[in-house]
Chain A
Amino acid sequence: MEITELTVHELQEKLKSKELTVSEITRAYVDRINEKESDVNAFITLLTDEAIEKSKEIEEKINNGEINSELAGIPIGIKDNICTKGIKTTCASKMLENFVSPYDATVMNKINSEGMINLGKLNMDEFAMGSSTEHSAIAKTRNPWNLNTVPGGSSGGSAAAVAANMVPWALGSDTGGSIRQPASLCGVVGLKPTYGLVSRYGLVAFASSLDQIGPITKDVKDSAILLNLLVGHDEKDTTSLDIPKQDYVASLKNDVKGLKIGVPKEFFAEGLNEEVRKSLEKAIEKYKELGAEVEEFSLDIAKYSLAAYYIIACAEASSNLGRFDGIRYGYRTPNYETLEDIFVNSRSEGFGAEVKRRIILGTYVLSSGYYDAYYKKAQQVRTLVKKEFNKAFEKYDVILTPTSPIVAFEAGTKSNNPLEMYLADICTVSVNVAGLPGISIPCGVNSEGMPIGMQLIGKRFEEGKILNAAYTFEQAVKFRKNFKPNFKK
């Protein structure tokens, strides 16, 4: 088997048994990137030369006994809204095209201190606003399963790079589905942790009460391994919670007997593609076979959540993106006389259309006269969504839904209709609105061979339960063994 097809836990075994060395692994990934990147365009900044240098250094440190982490020498790719010291962090925006972060995000400190190797920064929708990665101002990423289709978004570069075996795993960020939806469209595993589980320090803010960083991986065990590293309280992010650490790998029992799974019928309503529905129904049957107790129930919050999500996320974005003024960092217009010209022209020239659209919507819903009708109502809807989920979790351990109502769509077919693009997030946003953990795993392919994703939602801090449910399904179905992207054009 090719080195780049292996999961991280398989790489770890081969490193331990000395079948492979760190520099062989890095070399294999660099070769794979050189072969596939021109088709997929997942990266904004490639660090292949640096990675090869670093792999030699890490190998020496391992041989000298200076590092003994099991993650030492494992490569990774990083979404380009996570700050990396001395390396560009562009957010796929003209605004930050030349921005070099003066510090590392907390998750990068963790990754670097394990001796992991950064292969590069990955493409995304500008400032993480989008569901197809088409809103990137820098690169056009394509889906390895069909190069005419989008990889999803906003972490589309991360999901496409993992699917194309150009990185063994990657970091993404998820504000309304931006890890899970691209994972679904690219046939890989994406986990959005509970809000507050992972530090957001150094993640360029989009909507601060919704954003979380999380892993995009080839399989569920890798997701648990990377999550183990990422979690923990950070004094630099006061919303990160100081709670006892769990071992997520230990939660993978390959057993769902007696597990109570709730299936909310509203998530299977109109707008759900027929083939996606059939694939999900098959997955439900599989869970029953495996001994889980599956029951349909009513959770009528999807549409309210989506509307509340776009109000809250845009309101927060309009405030967060106020910092881009052309003074301390970021794009500055060449056309100015006064200070106000600098603010207005830098922002108008530096932001893309979707970012401006969301700033305008956010400013609108916060402006006097509309605050109560939109923003306040949305915050109340948020309470309703939390309450409805709490009620559901009194009965069920895990909630099962589609991740996306559709498979990967052709590039250019939705990018001119903002609302239609927003509707693609209908299954994922409620998880962010309520601050819950959610995972997307592949559950099958459609008649054209495009992957279909299943979402499992858990109670706050019960990542262990959804990881185990996902793992048990994955072991039974063996998606990765049966289906591979073929880079068809």
Chain B
Amino acid sequence: MQVSREELLHIAKLSNLKINDEEIDNYRLNLEEILNFADIVKNANVDELDETIGANDNFNVFREDVLKEFEDREALLANAPERERDMFKVPKVIQ
């Protein structure tokens, strides 16, 4: 499996990651090597098999949508890199 520089940059963009010029080849070659190994799955005889979504068989566990107040608002907000009063602060989005 060959991965081009353009392809790697596209994937990085989808991941919200910036890869420096000098790092690109390193990540690209790692990805190629790992994908070459992962290609084994293509040889597995699994055409008849369903996909396993989780280790358990119980999907879609439902409950009532009950509102619960978190007891410590301040502890939640205290981790914000930037805040104003009880709000998370971000740069202006709409000019």
Residues of A within 8 A of B (CB): 85-86, 98-100, 102-103, 195-196, 209-210, 235, 238-239, 241, 303-304, 306-308, 310-311, 318, 322, 325-332, 336-339, 341-345, 347-348, 351, 356-357, 359-361, 363-365, 367, 373-374, 376-384, 386-387, 418-419, 422, 434-435
Q: A100-B78, A238-B61 are in contact. Are A422 and B34 (CB under 8 A)?
A: yes
CB neighbors of A among B24-51 (8 A): 27, 30-31, 33-35, 37-42, 44-47, 49-51
Asked if B18 CB lies within 8 Å of chain A CBs, one says yes
- Name which of B51, B58, B81 has the most chain A CB atoms within 10 A of its CB: B81
> Among the listed A209, A341, A381, A418, which residue makes an inter-chain contact with B53, where contact means beta carbons less than 8 Å apart?
A209
Asked if B93 CB lies within 8 Å of chain A CBs, one says yes
Q: What distance in Å separates the Cβ of B16 from its nearest Cβ neighbour in chain A?
A: 5
Whole-angstrom CA separation of A332 from B30 in the bound complex: 27
Main secondary structure of the interface of B (DSSP, over half): loop
Can you list 24 A-B contacts with CB-CB less than 8 angstroms, sorted by A residue number?
Answer: A102-B72, A102-B79, A103-B72, A209-B55, A304-B44, A326-B81, A328-B79, A328-B80, A336-B91, A344-B17, A348-B17, A356-B17, A361-B34, A361-B35, A373-B42, A374-B35, A374-B38, A378-B41, A380-B50, A384-B49, A418-B34, A419-B34, A419-B37, A435-B55
Whole-angstrom CA separation of A387 from B48 in the bound complex: 13
Whole-angstrom CA separation of A361 from B14 in the bound complex: 12
Whole-angstrom CA separation of A311 from B53 in the bound complex: 13
Q: A326-B81, A359-B17, A383-B46 are in contact. Are A209 and B11 (CB under 8 A)?
A: no
When distances are taken between beta carbons in the complex, the residues of chain A under 8 Å from B18 are 344-345, 348
Q: In this complex, what residue of B is CB-closest to A378?
A: B41
> Among the listed A100, A303, A318, A360, which residue makes an inter-chain contact with B40, where contact means beta carbons less than 8 Å apart?
A303
Asked if B63 CB lies within 8 Å of chain A CBs, one says yes
Q: A209-B55, A337-B91 are in contact. Are A374 and B41 (CB under 8 A)?
A: yes
When distances are taken between beta carbons in the complex, the residues of chain A under 8 Å from B91 are 336-339, 341-342
Going nearest first, the 3 A-B pairs with the smallest beta carbon separation are: A435-B55, A332-B81, A102-B75
Q: In this complex, what residue of B is CB-closest to A333?
A: B81
User: CB distance B44 to A384 under 8 Å?
Assistant: yes
When distances are taken between beta carbons in the complex, the residues of chain A under 8 Å from B17 are 344, 347-348, 351, 356, 359-360
> Among the listed B11, B16, B51, B58, which residue makes an inter-chain contact with A380, where contact means beta carbons less than 8 Å apart?
B51
- Name which of A310, A331, A343, A380 has the most chain B CB atoms within 10 A of its CB: A380
Asked if B67 CB lies within 8 Å of chain A CBs, one says no
Whole-angstrom CA separation of A183 from B90 in the bound complex: 44
Tally A-B pairs: CB < 8 A. 169
When distances are taken between beta carbons in the complex, the residues of chain B under 8 Å from A328 are 79-80, 88
Q: What distance in Å separates the Cβ of A102 from its nearest Cβ neighbour in chain B?
A: 4
User: CB distance B27 to A310 under 8 Å?
Assistant: no
Q: In this complex, what residue of A is CB-closest to B93?
A: A339
Q: In this complex, what residue of A is CB-closest to B54?
A: A209
When distances are taken between beta carbons in the complex, the residues of chain A under 8 Å from B86 are none
User: CB distance B38 to A311 under 8 Å?
Assistant: yes
Whole-angstrom CA separation of A135 from B52 in the bound complex: 30
Q: What distance in Å separates the Cβ of A384 from its nearest Cβ neighbour in chain B?
A: 5
User: CB distance B52 to A360 under 8 Å?
Assistant: no
When distances are taken between beta carbons in the complex, the residues of chain A under 8 Å from B8 are 360
When distances are taken between beta carbons in the complex, the residues of chain A under 8 Å from B46 are 377, 380-381, 383-384
Whole-angstrom CA separation of A331 from B73 in the bound complex: 20
> Among the listed A102, A235, A364, which residue makes an inter-chain contact with B63, where contact means beta carbons less than 8 Å apart?
A235
> Among the listed A306, A307, A359, which residue makes an inter-chain contact with B15, where contact means beta carbons less than 8 Å apart?
A359
User: CB distance B79 to A330 under 8 Å?
Assistant: yes
When distances are taken between beta carbons in the complex, the residues of chain B under 8 Å from A308 are 41
Whole-angstrom CA separation of A347 from B75 in the bound complex: 23
When distances are taken between beta carbons in the complex, the residues of chain B under 8 Å from A419 are 30, 33-34, 37
Q: What distance in Å separates the Cβ of A104 from its nearest Cβ neighbour in chain B?
A: 11
When distances are taken between beta carbons in the complex, the residues of chain A under 8 Å from B40 are 303-304, 307
User: CB distance B79 to A100 under 8 Å?
Assistant: yes
When distances are taken between beta carbons in the complex, the residues of chain B under 8 Å from A306 are 37
Q: In this complex, what residue of A is CB-closest to B90?
A: A339
User: CB distance B80 to A329 under 8 Å?
Assistant: yes
Q: A241-B58, A381-B41 are in contact. Are A310 and B34 (CB under 8 A)?
A: yes
> Among the listed A100, A195, A307, A345, which residue makes an inter-chain contact with B38, where contact means beta carbons less than 8 Å apart?
A307
User: CB distance B49 to A383 under 8 Å?
Assistant: yes
Q: What distance in Å separates the Cβ of A374 from its nearest Cβ neighbour in chain B?
A: 6
Q: In this complex, what residue of A is CB-closest to B50?
A: A383
Q: In this complex, what residue of A is CB-closest to B33?
A: A419
